[in-house]
Structures are given as C-alpha cells and as structure tokens.
C-alpha cells in the first residue's frame, strides 16, 4: 500500500477537522479570521504540490489502483486548491451574513475540497462514487447554510432532491457495469470493455453513470437545478459550485470516457456532439432575459459546460488539453465575478443586475474586475476566455474530417458566442451606464480581498497573454489518455 | 532581433491606454494630451517608416518575431511589405485625426479615450501582424471598443438598434472568418500560424480543392460581412450614422479595410483555385454595393446616412479590383483602400463638426453652410469631389486603376461598364446634390452665426487628411512603386494556371506605369 501518495488529501482532511474544532476555542469575534488560517495552510499545500517532492511526484497508485497520482490528477489538485483558496477569501467577506457556525462553513468548504482532490485521483467506480458523494453532500449543507433565508433553504432542498436522484442513477449504472463485467477499476474495465460493447445492459450502465456526471457539470438535459441553486445559495458556495464541483465532474467524465470505456466513447461521438451543442444553445438562450446576476451566471455556467464539452466531444488529445486550459481560465474568471457580486450585494437583499449601477464610482477596482470577467467569459482578447475558446474551436475543427457533425458543432458554438455578447455586455452596461444610480457610497475593501481580486485579474491576463506555461501543463496532463 | 518600429507604432497607443486607466477622470486636459501624444508619435513613426521603406524590394521589412506559443506555431510577428505599408501609414494618420476630432466628446472622456487608444492599437496591430492568430486577435481587440463607443456616445434615437445590429453582424463576420482561419491552419498541415511560412508551405503543398472550397467561402463571407459586402451591408450606414465621429472615422476609414486586407493577404494566395471560381460571383456582388447602395445613398435625407452609404458603395470598387485577380486590379484595390480610408475619415470628421455645431444632419434643415463655415464648407466640398472620383485626389487614381484592371478580364467587362457608370453618374448625383443642399443656397437665419474652425488645432485633422488625399493623388507612384512588387507576387500565387480562359497571365499585363494617368 502506498498511502503516502495521499498526503495532500490527508492534510486537507486534517485542516477541515482543525477548523471545526477551532470553533470551540476561538472567541466569536475572531472566528471570522480562521478563514485566513485556512488560506495560509492551503497556500502551503499548493506550494508543496509544485515542489514535485514525495507525494506530489508523478506516477504511482494506491489501494490496488483505485487511487492514481498522474499528470491529470496533479493538474486538477492544483486547480482545486487554488479555487478553494479564492473561495475562502470570499467566504471571510461573506461571514457576517452567516447567522452561526462560521468555522463550520470554512471547514465544509475544506471537506468539499478533499472530495474534489479524491475525485482528481479516482480510478475506480467505488472511489468515483465516494468522491462525488463527499462533494455533493457537503454542498447540500453549504447551499442551505443561510438558514434564515428561504431561498437558500429552497435551493438546498432542490439540490438535495435532484442530486440524490442523479446519485441513484449513478449507483444503478455502476451496479449494471459491475454486474456485466465484474470490474470496477477503470484500467481493468478498459481491458475487457470491448467484449461487452454489444451488451445493452453494460451500455445502459455506462449511460446511467454519464447521467450522474452530467448532473454535476450541469449539461443538458440535467441542467435544470443549476439556475435555482446558483441563485439561492450563499455566493461563496455558488462560486465553488460553479468552479470546483463542475471541474470535479469534468475530471471524472474524462476518466470514465477515455480511461474506462474508450471503445464505447468512440461510438458515442454523435451523442456527445449533440449534447454539447444543445447545452451551449440552452444556456445562452436562457441567460438572455435574466435580471438576477447569480441566475444569469447560472445559465452562463450551463453554456460554459457546453463549451467545455466541445473538448470532450472532440475525442482528441488537443480537445482534452483545450478543456483543461479553458477550465483554468474559467476558474479565475468566474471567481472574480462572484467575488464582485459577493461584495456589492453585502447590504442588499437581492442580486439584481441593477445592484451594479454606478459601481465604477463606488469602487473602480471592482468595476474593472467585473468588466474583465464578463469580457473573458464572452471571449474577448487578450483575456483567458478568448484563447481558451480558440483552442476548443481548433480542437473541434481538427476532427471535421472525421465527422462533418463537428463543423455544425463549431458553428453552434459560434452562435452561442454571438448570443452571449448580449447579456455579458448588459452587465458591463449596468456598471458604467446605468441611468438611475441610487447608491454612490464607496465600497470598502479589506486588504485580503483586494489580493484575491488581483490574483483573479492577473490569472485572466496571464492565461490570455502568456498561455505557454498553462498550455504545457494542460498538454502534460492530457497525455494520461494517450497511453 | 531588434525591436521593430512597428512594435512601437502599435504598442504606444496600447500602453497609453493602460496609463490612462490610472489617471483620475477629472484631469481632462492631461487625458486629452496623453491621447493626442499617443497617436501623434505613432503617426510620426509611421511616416518615418514609410519614407525608409525600400521601394522595389520584394518581401517584408521592419520585421520582428518573438515566439509565443511554440507548440501551436504561434509567434508575435510583425512586418510590412508593399501591401500593408500604406495601410499602416493611413491607419496612423487617421487615428491621430480621430483623436484630434474627439473634442466633440464631452461626457466620460477618460473612458472614451481609453477605448479610442485600444481601438487604434488593435487596428495598427491587425495591419502589421504577420501571424494569423495575432492578425485576428488584434482585429477583435479593436472591434469590441467600436460597439461600446457607438452604444454609449452614439447619437440619434436609433443608436441602441444600430449598436445591436452592428454588434451582431460584425461578430458573426469575425467568427466566420475565425473558423475559416483555424480550418486553414489545420488543413494546411504546416503547424504554423505564421503567414510567410504558411504561404511558402502552401506554395509547395497546395491545399486540396475540397478544403479550399470549404474554407474560401468562410473567409470571403466572414471578411465580406466585415467590409459590408452587399447583401450584408445594412449595419454599416446605420452604425456610422449613430456612431460618434471619431469612431466612425476609425471604423469606416481603417478597421473596415481589415477584411479586404485579409482577402488579399490570406485568402487569395493560399486558396487560388477556390478564388478563381468565386471571383465571378464576387464581381456581381460588388455591383450590389456600387449600384444598389449607391441608389440607396441617393435617397438619403440625412447627411451621415448618405456618407455611410457612399462609403459602402466605395467598397464595391475594392471588391471589383480584387475580383479581377490581376496585377493592375489588385494594385488599384490597395490604392482605393488607402484613399478611401482618408476620404471616409475626412467626411465623417466634417459631418461630426456640422452636427456638433447645428445639432442636426437632416439635409432639409441645413443649407448655405459655406458662408458661415468657410473652412469646413470648402473642405467638405473637396471631400465630396474626391468621393465622385475627381482627378487630383487619391481616389481617382485608385478607381481608375481598378477599372483598367477589371477591363483586362474579358468576363468582367459587363460588370466594369456598370461599375464605371455607377462611379461616374450615381456617385456624382448624390455627392453634388448633397453639396448643393448643405453648402449652397440661402443660409437659414439660425445657422448664420455658426462658428467656423479657425485656430490651427481645430483645422489640423481636416487639413491633414485632405493633404494626404492630395499628395497620393498627385504622386501615386509613392504608393504604386511600393505596392506593385508584392502585389505581383500575390497575383502570381493566385493565378497558378494561366491557361484558364479569363485569367490573364501576369506577363501579359502591360507595364502599370503606362496605364496610369500621370
């Protein structure tokens, strides 16, 4: 057994426990600052993950191959830790809106992170399920954490019901796959999957597993929960849901499709193309009339799930690395947007777009952050979103010779981009050119949140202007599937 | 490799835009001074570059290449040859003139100048880039400020509709072209976005006819939408009518030429077979621009819409020059691109001045403006004459060269005759009519006290553009000598087989100098 490979996970688990215990001893007015301690600890882990020593070196597996530590796993672990750090910054700012149990809120975020870290390394359906449940169940609580707000509770219940339904589909699927093949390990399954290609029960099993993962990433037709939950959940939860939970869904989707059942995936090319195209169109079209910022970003996150699926549907190494690159850009962009929403709506009881009116006078830093985030989501150079979309389109067009459907997919993606200009610019317009500005009081920003915002801005520009480093990392991670 | 002068030309406006972000919004004089300096310096550098350009030399000059994403074959690569040296110069001059004319902007000046500088840097970058990725990205970078400027500082009650329409049209056009460019990269198999390398590689390994027939229409119509090719032109007049004058100057004058430049630089030499089969169609579509949009321009009751439509009509001549696919035609097309850049900028600047002073551009309400506005009136008169194609202005040289080029192609003769008719009659009708109604006749009482542009600073942008038109009108060889060698190379690539009826072999084309009027 090789448990030392799991050092990162064990440290994160320990951190979560410590945060929870700290609740007993910290005086009430200090509890808020436990979040910064968590940030510091996670930053330390992030540095260790880059050092390449011991547990973070490439290669190796534990628990009879259930847990792997390859390039893809390391890429996503860094990704999740960065996301958690930025979300914790936001959570500290949000802490005055949480009635009780601030330390619990932090520790739940950290526990969700540990689930994501396990998901990054999952190489077995058992591990996959455990990781997913660890993430989802913590998110049920995180979503309904503002017990005093009805919308938060409603969002939690909705997420619980639909999440439980999709989990049951997934368990059923895993059972069917295990029943037909007798394998749970992805590599072992890949070796025998070709024999079962004609077995309807096996195929249904794989399909049900994809239903469960489709729910996590909010792909059509399992996207129905996203807008409601995004709107109702506390803003840091929404941000973590939009970035961490979605990325966890994608890493598992990649592992299942390209490691466990690659032969089946090759037959499902058209299915993936259609799902990707519909998800893009659905997300973008539904976002058009939205006036609530978080709901708008909820639909936009569905659209982005569609763009990310372009990289899956391309069934190629360049598609996978484009997906990873796009996710990296998406991380900074979306967290930047939610941080701004979190700060702007501090004294408001709704998240309407009008809350942004006059933001350029209230806080130029937040106004430019939101503008850059929207521009990056829309895909405007020189920000991360542009280069990411460029890579995804390139990956899809490369496959055009295989199946003309890919050309249709590329055009659909473009239609989505054109539509999305409308609502992203609507947000920018609300910031700078609102007619009736009621509140012009300056927004006070604490030092740490300024740091978090600047990290997001730097990330968007860094990925857009100097993409080489991140792209090399993504290419390295995508090599896992080329073996 | 040392830093190319081009990097300064496109970098200074972008750096100044970043600098402006940190200047407080109420330092209006400083903001304007920075914007003027950040466009003046590139203009001076562009003139210096134009003078230093070695005439008669085939290939790129002032090159600079920095690897960017090596795994995908992308690099920051700038350079000029005969095809784009004039465009960079024109872009820099128009950008300075546009910054000068921005005194009409009274609200949110800081944001306006930031967007103006971003747009300038993007435009100059797009024309200077020799890498497909940067070529596209710079254009996109310049395009987005255009939408915001029209939406925020635009005029007329239809500005929201105009913004909406121009955004949708141009975004679709740009994205179609993007798909085409990516497909070109993939199908070529050269694994490089570098234009010179791509040209070299494709000359040795031509693209399959099937890929050409797929990619070429994407580029033709993607770029075509950006240039308001009929029937995708309806955004143009409306958008320019609603745009603030500096934006209209930069877009109609410079940014719009990106699509044409893309066709000449990328589409024609890399996909010669598809080009041959599409040029006949393009020639008939360009008649839509010249005749139909010209006719629409005749019907306009608003000066800005008239100018906007006439600018769309002028695009037809450039398309005709490209469609002829021979040395004279393509040279003429490049000449018209440059001449029209100055002309469009000048007319929009003048109409902006008139709007600023009178608050209206309805032709029926104006009249006799030559008397209170002597300088502006005379300049507008000269601009209108240039628009009709009067000899002495650069437009005449370009248009006449295009007609000579198109006449060489037997299958385009009908089109050429119709286009000449459109240029001489339709253009003259709407331009002279506008001159009569706006500048001549009795002065309405309310306009008799209008203030003319008197001091040097106010006159400078108009004078600069007018002088440019006259200089290149009287001494076109400044441009043609530079354009011809590279145009020749491009035409040779676009006509790989000269046995095809209709295509004139390059060697048969008479010496260009003898075809030119002076």
Nearest to A243 by CA among A98, A86, A125, A376: A86
Q: How confident is the model at residue B421 (pLDDT cuts 50, 70, 90)?
A: confident
Which residues 6+ apart lie within 8 Å of A333 measured at CB? A373, A376, A377, A383, A384, A385, A456, A460
Q: Is residue B249 over pLDDT 60?
A: yes
CA separation, residue A220 to residues A253, A283, A326, B219 (Å): 15, 9, 19, 32
* Closest CA in chain A for residue B186: A398
For position B502, what pLDDT does the model report? Answer: 44
Name chain A contacts of B168, Cβ cutoff 8 Å.
Answer: 418
Nearest to A86 by CA among A296, A236, A231, A249: A236
Nearest to A60 by CA among A13, A108, A3, A12: A3
**Average pLDDT score, chain A:** 89
Minimum-distance CB partner of B167 among A414, A421, A432: A421
For position B118, what pLDDT does the model report? Answer: 93
**Mean pLDDT score, B162-167:** 86
For position A413, what pLDDT does the model report? Answer: 92
Following CA atoms B13, B16, B17, B20 in sequence, which dihedral angle do they give, to the nearest 10 degrees? -150
Helices (H) and strands (E) in chain B, counts: 23, 2
What residue ranges in A131-254 does DSSP mark as E strands?
none
- List A residues 259-288 in contact with B (Cβ-Cβ < 8 A): none
By the 10 Å C-beta count (0-12 exposed, 13-18 middle, 19+ buried), A442 is classed as: exposed
Which residues 6+ apart lie within 8 Å of A152 measured at CB? A143, A144, A145, A146, A232, A233, A234
Cβ distance of B179 and A467 shorter than 8 Å: no
DSSP assignment of B309-347:
HHHHHHHHHHHHHHHH-SHHHHHHHHHHHHHHHHHHHHH
- List B residues 157-186 in contact with A (Cβ-Cβ < 8 A): 167-168, 171-172, 175-176, 178-179, 182-183, 185-186
Which residues 6+ apart lie within 8 Å of B178 measured at CB? A390, A393, A414, B136, B222
**Mean pLDDT score, A268-288:** 93
Question: Residue A400 carries which DSSP code?
Answer: G
Q: Is residue B500 over pLDDT 50?
A: no
pLDDT single digits (tens) B360-404: 888 888 877 887 888 888 888 899 888 888 888 888 888 889 988
Cα(A282)–Cα(A279) distance, rounded to whole angstroms?
5
For position A139, what pLDDT does the model report? Answer: 94
Q: What are phi and psi of B371, to 5 degrees?
A: -75, -55
* Closest CA in chain A for residue B177: A414
- List A residues 22-51 in contact with B (Cβ-Cβ < 8 A): none
Rg (alpha carbons) of chain B, rounded to whole number: 22
Neighbours of A244 (CB within 10 A): 28
Minimum-distance CB partner of A471 among B69, B148, B151: B69
Q: What are phi and psi of A62, to 5 degrees?
A: -130, 165
Please indicate, yes or no, if residue A354 is contained in any of the structural domains.
yes
Q: What share of chain B is helix, strand, coil (3-state, %, to 5)?
A: 75, 5, 20
Minimum-distance CB partner of B175 among A380, A414, A472: A414
For position A170, what pLDDT does the model report? Answer: 93
Query: Contact at 8 Å (CB) between B130 and B78?
Result: yes
For position B293, what pLDDT does the model report? Answer: 87
By the 10 Å C-beta count (0-12 exposed, 13-18 middle, 19+ buried), B87 is classed as: buried
**Of B49 and A59, which is predicted with more confidence?**
B49
Q: Where along chain B do its domains lie?
A: 5-515
Neighbours of B477 (CB within 10 A): 16
Please indicate, yes or no, if residue A483 is contained in any of the structural domains.
yes
Cβ distance of B144 and A397 shorter than 8 Å: no
pLDDT single digits (tens) B113-151: 999 999 999 999 999 999 999 999 999 888 888 888 888
CA separation, residue A18 to residues A83, A95, A447, B85, B517 (Å): 20, 18, 25, 66, 87
For position B506, what pLDDT does the model report? Answer: 44
By the 10 Å C-beta count (0-12 exposed, 13-18 middle, 19+ buried), A372 is classed as: buried
Question: Residue B104 carries which DSSP code?
Answer: G
pLDDT single digits (tens) A327-347: 999 999 999 999 999 998 887
Following CA atoms A29, A34, A40, A46 in sequence, which dihedral angle do they give, to the nearest 10 degrees? -150
Q: Tell me the three state secondary structure of residue B134.
A: helix
For position A7, what pLDDT does the model report? Answer: 84
For residue A353, the enclosing domain spans: 268-483
Cα(B254)–Cα(B261) distance, rounded to whole angstroms?
11
Write down the residue that tokens 């972000």 correspond to. B21
For position A274, what pLDDT does the model report? Answer: 93
Following CA atoms B453, B458, B460, B462 in sequence, which dihedral angle do they give, to the nearest 10 degrees? -60
Write down the residue that tokens 């001091």 correspond to. B455
**Of B59 and A15, which is predicted with more confidence?**
A15
- List A residues 345-374 in contact with B (Cβ-Cβ < 8 A): 368
**Mean pLDDT score, A257-279:** 90
Minimum-distance CB partner of A397 among B137, B138, B183: B183
Nearest to B92 by CA among B125, B60, B64: B125
Question: Residue B74 carries which DSSP code?
Answer: E
Q: Is residue A482 over pLDDT 80?
A: no
For position B90, what pLDDT does the model report? Answer: 92
Q: Tell me the three state secondary structure of residue B229.
A: coil
CA-angle at A26, arms to A6 and A36, nearest 5° = 55
Cα(A256)–Cα(A187) distance, rounded to whole angstroms?
10
User: How far B186 CA lies from chain A's nearest CA (Å)?
Assistant: 6
Does A418 touch chain B if contact means CB atoms closer than 8 Å?
A: yes
B199: its two tokens: 């040209």
CA separation, residue A28 to residues B132, B149, B193 (Å): 58, 50, 59
pLDDT single digits (tens) B424-434: 888 888 888 88
Cβ distance of A410 and B133 shorter than 8 Å: no
Minimum-distance CB partner of B141 among A382, A390, A422: A382
For position A16, what pLDDT does the model report? Answer: 93
pLDDT single digits (tens) B446-492: 777 777 777 888 888 899 999 999 999 898 888 888 888 888 888 88
User: How far B201 CA lies from chain A's nearest CA (Å)?
Assistant: 19
Cβ distance of B179 and A417 shorter than 8 Å: no
Query: Contact at 8 Å (CB) between A192 and A183?
Result: yes
pLDDT single digits (tens) A371-400: 999 999 998 888 999 999 999 999 999 888
B426: its two tokens: 């339709």
Cβ distance of A400 and B185 shorter than 8 Å: no
pLDDT single digits (tens) B317-375: 899 888 888 888 899 999 999 999 999 999 999 888 888 888 888 888 887 788 788 88
Q: How confident is the model at residue B4 (pLDDT cuts 50, 70, 90)?
A: confident
B340: its two tokens: 């029209």
Q: What percent of chain A has pLDDT over 90?
A: 54
pLDDT single digits (tens) A434-475: 777 777 788 888 889 999 999 999 999 999 888 888 998 898
**Mean pLDDT score, A137-158:** 90
Cβ distance of B175 and A417 shorter than 8 Å: yes
Rg (alpha carbons) of chain A, rounded to whole number: 21
Q: What percent of chain A has pLDDT over 70?
A: 98
User: How far A468 CA lies from chain B's nearest CA (Å)?
Assistant: 5
Q: What are phi and psi of A397, to 5 degrees?
A: -70, -30
**Mean pLDDT score, A323-330:** 94
Cβ distance of A394 and B186 shorter than 8 Å: yes
Please indicate, yes or no, if residue A25 is contained in any of the structural domains.
no
Through-space distance between the first and last CA atoms of chain A, rounded to whole angstroms: 24
**Average pLDDT score, chain B:** 85
Cα(B149)–Cα(B340) distance, rounded to whole angstroms?
22
For position A106, what pLDDT does the model report? Answer: 92
Q: What are phi and psi of B66, to 5 degrees?
A: -125, 120
Nearest to A296 by CA among A420, A416, A381, A143: A420
Which residues 6+ apart lie within 8 Å of A176 measured at CB? A201, A202, A204, A205, A208
Name chain A contacts of B175, Cβ cutoff 8 Å.
Answer: 414, 417-418
Cβ distance of A386 and B185 shorter than 8 Å: no
Name chain A contacts of B69, Cβ cutoff 8 Å.
Answer: 467-468, 471
**Mean pLDDT score, A364-375:** 91
Q: How confident is the model at residue B497 (pLDDT cuts 50, 70, 90)?
A: low
Please indicate, yes or no, if residue A193 is contained in any of the structural domains.
no
Q: Tell me the three state secondary structure of residue B131.
A: strand
Q: What percent of chain B has pLDDT over 70?
A: 95
Please state the separation of Cα A434 from the chain's center in Å. Answer: 31
Cβ distance of A418 and B182 shorter than 8 Å: no
Q: What percent of chain B has pLDDT over 90?
A: 19
Cβ distance of B171 and A421 shorter than 8 Å: yes
- List A residues 372-411 in contact with B (Cβ-Cβ < 8 A): 375, 380-382, 386, 390, 393-394, 397-398, 400, 410-411
For position A137, what pLDDT does the model report? Answer: 93
Neighbours of B213 (CB within 10 A): 15
**Of A154 and A361, which is predicted with more confidence?**
A154
For position B518, what pLDDT does the model report? Answer: 43
Number of domains in chain A: 1
Instruction: Outline where B53-158 has alpha helix (H).
Output: 82-101, 109-128, 132-153
A465: its two tokens: 């202007």
Q: Strand A61-62 and strand B61-69: pairing? A: unpaired
Which residues 6+ apart lie within 8 Å of B319 measured at CB? B227, B229, B260, B282, B283, B285, B286, B289, B333
Q: Is residue B499 over pLDDT 70?
A: no
CA separation, residue A224 to residues A159, A296, A351, A404, B465 (Å): 10, 14, 20, 30, 58
A216: its two tokens: 């996590």
Lowest mean pLDDT among A72-86, A426-440, A461-475, B215-229: A426-440
Query: Contact at 8 Å (CB) between A112 and A244?
Result: yes
Q: Is residue A90 over pLDDT 70?
A: yes
Cβ distance of B137 and A375 shorter than 8 Å: no
Q: How confident is the model at residue B418 (pLDDT cuts 50, 70, 90)?
A: confident
Q: Is residue B292 over pLDDT 60?
A: yes
Does B15 touch chain A if contact means CB atoms closer than 8 Å?
A: no
For position B204, what pLDDT does the model report? Answer: 83
For position B154, what pLDDT does the model report? Answer: 83
Name chain B contacts of A411, Cβ cutoff 8 Å.
Answer: 179
Cα(A256)–Cα(B166) distance, rounded to whole angstroms?
44
Nearest to B407 by CA among B418, B399, B416: B416
A318: its two tokens: 């360049």
* Closest CA in chain A for residue B74: A468
Q: Is residue A273 over pLDDT 70?
A: yes
Size of interface A-B (CB pairs under 8 A): 66
B257: its two tokens: 């030429």
Q: Strand B61-69 and strand B74-80: pairing? A: antiparallel
For position B508, what pLDDT does the model report? Answer: 42
Query: Contact at 8 Å (CB) between B71 and A471?
Result: yes
Cβ distance of B137 and A432 shorter than 8 Å: no
pLDDT single digits (tens) B45-54: 999 999 888 8
Query: Contact at 8 Å (CB) between A457 and A336?
Result: yes
């Amino acid at each position: 057994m090789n448990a030392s490979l799991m050092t990162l996970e064990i440290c994160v688990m320990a951190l979560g426990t410590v945060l929870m215990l700290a609740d007993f001893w910290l005086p009430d007015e200090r509890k808020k600052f436990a979040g910064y301690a968590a940030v510091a600890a996670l930053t330390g882990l992030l540095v260790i993950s880059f050092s390449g020593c011991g547990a973070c070196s490439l290669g190796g597996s534990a628990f009879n191959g259930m847990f792997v530590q390859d390039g893809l796993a390391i890429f996503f672990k860094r990704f999740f830790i960065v996301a958690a750090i930025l979300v914790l910054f936001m959570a500290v700012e949000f802490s005055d809106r949480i009635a009780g149990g601030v330390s619990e809120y932090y520790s739940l975020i950290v526990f969700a992170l540990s689930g994501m870290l396990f998901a990054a390394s999952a190489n077995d359906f058992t591990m996959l399920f455990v990781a997913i449940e660890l993430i989802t169940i913590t998110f049920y609580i995180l979503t309904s954490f503002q017990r005093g707000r009805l919308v938060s509770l409603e969002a939690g219940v909705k997420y619980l019901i639909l999440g439980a339904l999709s989990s049951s589909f997934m368990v059923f699927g895993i059972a069917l796959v295990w029943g037909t093949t007798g394998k749970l390990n992805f590599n072992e399954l890949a070796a025998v999957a070709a024999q079962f290609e004609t077995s309807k029960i096996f195929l249904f099993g794989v399909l049900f597993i994809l239903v469960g993962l489709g729910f996590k990433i909010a792909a059509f037709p399992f996207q129905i929960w996203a807008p409601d939950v995004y709107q109702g959940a506390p803003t840091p939860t929404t941000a973590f849901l939009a970035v961490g939970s979605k990325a966890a869904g994608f890493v598992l989707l990649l592992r299942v499709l390209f490691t466990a059942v690659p032969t089946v995936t090759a037959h499902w090319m058209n299915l993936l193309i259609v799902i990707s195209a519909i998800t893009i169109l659905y997300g973008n079209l539904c976002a058009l009339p939205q006036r609530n910022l978080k709901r708008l970003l909820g639909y936009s996150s569905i659209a982005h799930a569609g763009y990310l699926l372009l990289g899956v549907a391309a069934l190629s190494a360049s598609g996978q690395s484009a997906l990873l690159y796009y996710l990296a850009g998406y991380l900074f962009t979306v967290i930047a947007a939610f941080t701004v929403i979190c700060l702007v709506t501090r004294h408001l009881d709704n998240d309407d777009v009008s809350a942004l009116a006059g933001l350029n006078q209230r806080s130029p830093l937040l106004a430019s952050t939101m503008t850059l985030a929207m521009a990056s989501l829309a895909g405007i150079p020189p920000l991360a979103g542009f280069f990411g979309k460029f890579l995804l389109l390139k990956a899809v067009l490369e496959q055009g010779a295989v199946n003309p459907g890919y050309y249709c997919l590329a055009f659909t993606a473009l239609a989505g981009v054109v539509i999305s200009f409308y609502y992203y610019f609507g947000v920018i317009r609300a910031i700078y050119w609102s007619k009736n500005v009621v509140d012009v009081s300056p927004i006070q920003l604490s030092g740490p949140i300024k740091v978090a915002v600047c990290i997001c801005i730097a990330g968007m520009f860094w990925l857009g202007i100097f993409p080489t480093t991140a792209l090399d990392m993504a290419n390295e991670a995508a090599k896992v599937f080329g073996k | 490799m040392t830093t190319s002068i081009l990097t300064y030309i496109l970098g200074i406006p972008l750096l100044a835009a970043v600098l402006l972000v940190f200047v407080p919004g109420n330092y209006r004089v400083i903001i304007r001074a920075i914007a003027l300096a950040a466009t003046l310096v590139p203009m001076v550098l562009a003139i210096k570059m134009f003078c230093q350009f070695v005439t008669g030399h085939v290939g790129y000059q002032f090159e600079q290449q920095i690897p960017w994403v090596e795994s995908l074959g992308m690099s920051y690569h700038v350079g000029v040859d005969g095809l784009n040296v004039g465009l960079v110069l024109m872009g820099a001059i128009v950008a300075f003139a546009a910054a000068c004319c921005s005194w009409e902007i009274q609200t949110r000046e800081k944001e306006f100048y930031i967007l103006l500088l971003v747009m300038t840097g993007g435009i100059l970058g797009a024309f200077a880039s020799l890498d497909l990725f940067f070529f596209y990205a710079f254009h996109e970078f310049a395009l987005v400020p255009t939408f915001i400027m029209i939406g925020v500082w635009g005029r007329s009650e239809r500005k929201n509709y105009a913004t909406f329409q121009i955004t949708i049209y141009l975004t679709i056009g740009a994205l179609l072209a993007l798909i085409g460019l990516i497909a070109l990269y993939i199908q070529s198999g050269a694994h490089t976005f570098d234009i010179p390398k791509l040209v070299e590689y494709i000359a040795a390994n031509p693209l399959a006819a099937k890929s050409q027939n797929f990619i070429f229409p994407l580029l033709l119509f993607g770029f075509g939408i950006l240039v308001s090719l009929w029937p995708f032109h309806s955004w143009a007049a409306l958008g320019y009518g609603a745009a603030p004058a500096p934006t209209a100057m930069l877009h109609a004058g410079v940014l719009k030429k990106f699509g044409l430049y893309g066709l000449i630089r990328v589409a024609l030499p890399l996909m010669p077979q598809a080009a041959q089969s599409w040029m006949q169609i393009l020639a008939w579509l360009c008649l839509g621009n010249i005749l139909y949009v010209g006719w629409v321009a005749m019907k306009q009751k608003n000066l800005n819409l008239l100018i906007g439509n006439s600018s769309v009509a002028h695009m037809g001549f450039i398309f005709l020059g490209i469609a002829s696919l021979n040395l004279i035609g393509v040279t003429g097309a490049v000449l018209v691109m440059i001449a029209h850049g100055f002309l469009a900028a000048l007319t929009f600047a003048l109409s902006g001045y008139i709007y600023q002073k009178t608050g209206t551009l309805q032709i029926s309400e104006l009249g006799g403006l030559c008397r209170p506005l002597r300088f502006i009136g005379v300049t507008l008169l000269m601009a209108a004459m240039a628009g009709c194609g009067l000899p002495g202005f650069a437009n005449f040289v370009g248009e006449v060269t295009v007609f000579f080029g198109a006449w060489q192609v037997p299958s385009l003769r009908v089109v050429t005759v119709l286009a000449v008719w459109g240029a001489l009659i339709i253009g003259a009708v709407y331009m002279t009519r506008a001159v009569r109604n706006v500048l001549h006749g009795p002065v309405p009482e309310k306009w008799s006290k209008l203030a003319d542009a008197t001091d040097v600073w106010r006159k400078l942008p108009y004078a600069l553009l007018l002088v440019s038109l006259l200089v290149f009108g009287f001494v076109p060889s400044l441009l043609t000598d530079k354009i011809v060698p590279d145009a020749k190379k491009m035409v040779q690539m676009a006509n790989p087989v000269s046995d095809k009826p209709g295509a004139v072999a390059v060697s048969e084309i008479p010496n260009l100098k003898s075809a030119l009027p002076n």
